[in-house]
Amino acid sequence: MQQQNILTVDKVSRSFGKTRALKEFSIRIPRGQIVGLLGRNGAGKSTLLRIVGGMLRPNAGKVRINDRKVWDNARALGQLCIIGDTPDFGKLLKVKDLFFVCAGLFKQWDNALARALVKRFDLPENRRIKTFSRGMQTSLMLTVGLASRAPLTIIDEPSLGLDAVMRERFYDLLLEQSRKDEGRTFLISTHLIDEVARTLDYAVMIDDGKLLCEGTVEELQKGTLSVSGDAGVVRELTKGCKLLKEEELAGTLVRHVQLDAETIQSIRSDKRVRTALIGLQRLFVFLTEEKEAERNG
């Protein structure tokens, strides 16, 4: 029977000198979903991905893919394709050379898909890779990630160097591939949360090397609400709710709150105020600010 979680990270810590990049970090990544690893720059996302990809050894804790330890384990790493945030093509000169090597590296490599993606990303197949712009190189790396059809595909900062059109094209392709390859898991690390939010099934938020929260996008948004309207009414309705942030503009008060399902229903049915779910990015910002305030006493 297949494990429910394809990736398990258990109490992983990693330091670089005096800087602690990860502090007893634990997550379980469910199979067959698009998972977002969301965090600010320097939150520990890349360190975590390097540990998962077997490039870095943790100081403590365990990382397992399909219940197999990752460090220098070909059987576990054979399930994985990791695309880093810096394009690297070694000493390979042409796109066809890269695909030739990738076809040997990845068991499920789909050459037809790779060729189709090259066209979708408008990449010049016959030019030398080193003459490609940064955006083209990133697109080529993303092509490798998608065409690898690896059961666990990890992409670190897919948006770096890509223009808005190409970024949207990538998110569409990601959704397309996820639908086609049932059971395939994508772990996308990014700090551009709003952009990637529409593609995600599950989100893991990380801040200062620690887990901030995790869950399906619906779960995370379910207990939150932005309530706006007359200051007195908003205050009255949201009394007793956990306040994430309060903003006041020209007599209108906006309160972003965490609350239970019953209270949400009652507030939403009140015609005096306007309500909306808090977007993933805003929620992340509020939670991060809250933690920061806690740290600073």
Partner 1 sequence: MAEWLRAARLKGIARYQYKNLGRLITWALLIVLTVQILSLLTPYVFGDPYPFEGIGASFEIVFFAAFVTGIITAGRSSRFLLRFGTSRTSVWLGSVFGQLTGMVGLLIGTFLLNMLIAALLFPLSSLLPQGYSMSAALYRHELTEGLKNLPDLLLYTLEWTSIFYLYGCMLRRFKALTISFSIGIPLMFVILMLIPAVREGLQVLRGDDQGQMMILGLKWLQILQDILRFIEEHWETIQLTAGIASLPLSYIVMRGTKQP
Name every residue whose Cβ is closer than 8 Å to that of residue 183 and which is 6 or more positions away in sequence: 2, 31, 32, 151
Q: Pick the binder of partner 1 from 30, 42, 61, 84 (CB under 8 A).
A: 84
Q: Taking CB under 8 A as the rule, does residue 10 contact partner 1?
A: no
Q: Does 56 bind partner 1 (CB under 8 A)?
A: yes
- Cα separation, 71 vs 207, in Å, equals 24
CB 114 within 8 A of CB 99: yes
In this chain, which of 36, 39, 53, 229 binds partner 1, going by CB under 8 A? 53
CA separation for the pair 129, 100 (Å, rounded): 14
90 is a contact residue toward partner 1 (CB under 8 A): yes
> Would you count residue 92 as binding partner 1 (CB under 8 A)?
yes
The half-sphere exposure of 217 on its side-chain side, counting CA atoms within 13 A, is 20
By CB under 8 A, which span of 82-90, 161-169, 237-245, 275-283 interacts with partner 1? 82-90
The site string for partner 1 over 101-130 (x = CB under 8 A, - otherwise) reads: xxxxxxx-----------------------
Q: How far is the CB of 189 from partner 1 (least distance, A)?
A: 14
Number of continuous H segments (helices) and E segments (strands) in the chain: 11, 14
Whole-Å CA distances, 11 to 6, 52, 71, 73, 212: 17, 13, 15, 19, 14
* Cβ-based nearer residue to partner 1, 47 or 226: 47
Judged by CB under 8 A, which of 1, 4, 17, 72 binds partner 1? 72
284 binds partner 1 (CB under 8 A): no
> What 3-state class would DSSP assign to 217?
helix
Nearer to partner 1, 67 or 260 (CB): 67
- Residue 131 CB, shortest distance to partner 1, in Å, is 18
Choose, by CB under 8 A, the member of 42, 61, 78, 215 that binds partner 1. 78
Of 2, 19, 100, 242, the one binding partner 1 (CB under 8 A) is 100
Whether 65 contacts 77, CB under 8 Å: yes
CA-to-CA dists, residue 124 to 119, 131, 134, 141, 289, angstroms: 8, 10, 14, 14, 44
Residue 13 as a binder of partner 1 (CB under 8 A): the answer is no
Within 8 A by CB and 6+ apart from 165, the residues are none
**Is residue 89 at the binding interface for partner 1, with CB under 8 A as the rule?**
yes
Q: Which residues form the interface with partner 1 (CB under 8 A)?
A: 50, 53-56, 72-75, 77-78, 80-82, 84, 88-92, 97, 100-107, 144, 154
